[in-house]
Every structure is written in structure tokens, then in C-alpha cells.
Amino acid sequence: MKIAVLSCLVAAVSCAPQFQRPGLQDRDFIAILTDDRQNQGDGSFNYVFEAANGIRENRVGSIGSKGQSNMQGTYFFPLDDGTFAEVRYVADEFGFRAESPLIPTPHPLPAHAVEQIRVAEDQRRRGIQF
């Protein structure tokens, strides 16, 4: 009887899931080349990260005017065509602002709209109100 129970336990353990995500193989893991973090403890810090697949980030934090931690940095990631995207950003008391050629921008205003805005500003300066 003990052998039967032991056999059932061994069978149950060998059939247990191996806790690996579906489709993920050992070759799918990306090596971390750099992970350097320096925290001064007062809201200022430095952070540098780089992975073997080309993903990189560097970030610097400093004390903000209202006690918050302001940040600025850059991150890179590979695109499907083999090139790399670069995004530069600043996060401070004025919000998060990112710059990259990949971020869509609004179309420029047509010339007649620019002229209307100029006329309205000129009228405002001269005190004309409607």
C-alpha cells in the first residue's frame, strides 16, 4: 500500500506544470549587460541600463522646486527594420515632455490661419476687442 501511495505521489509531481510561459525558450532570454543604479537618498539619482538586444536607458534625477524628483534621460529600443528608436525626455514640475522623430506632431497651420493669428495678436496689442 505504501508503495502505491508513493508511486502516485511521484507521478503527480512529475506531471506538475514547470511554470514556464508558453512559447518561451532559453534562447528567448535577453542578457542584461549593464544595470547601474545610484541613489543619493535625497531624491537625486543616476540610472543606466543596457540589454544585449540593444535596449538602453539612462536617467538622471534631481530635487525639484516643490520637493519632487525631476528626471531627464534617454531610452533606445530596436525597431522592426533593424534601426533604433531614440526618445529623450524630461519629467519635472511642468509635466512629462518627450522628443523623438517617432512621436507624431500636428500638421503645420496653413498660411491664412497664421495670418489670422498675427492680425488678432496685433489687434489685442492695440486694445481692440470684439
- Position 17 pLDDT exceeds 90: no
CB distance 98 to 115 below 8 Å? no
As given in the structure block, the three cell numbers for residue 103 are: 512621436
Tell me what the mean pLDDT of segment 80-90 comes to: 94
Of the listed ranges 5-14, 57-66, 94-103, the one predicted with least confidence: 5-14
Of the listed ranges 4-13, 21-30, 64-73, the one predicted with least confidence: 4-13
Taking the CA atoms of residue 99, residue 101, residue 106 and residue 107 in that order, the dihedral angle to the nearest 10 degrees is 140
* φ, ψ (nearest 5 deg) of residue 101: -65, -15
* Residue 73 to residue 89: CA distance in whole angstroms: 6
CB distance 86 to 98 below 8 Å? no
Q: Over the stretch 91-119, which tens digit does the pLDDT of each residue have?
A: 998 899 999 998 888 888 999 999 999 99
User: pTM higher than 0.85 for the full model?
Assistant: no
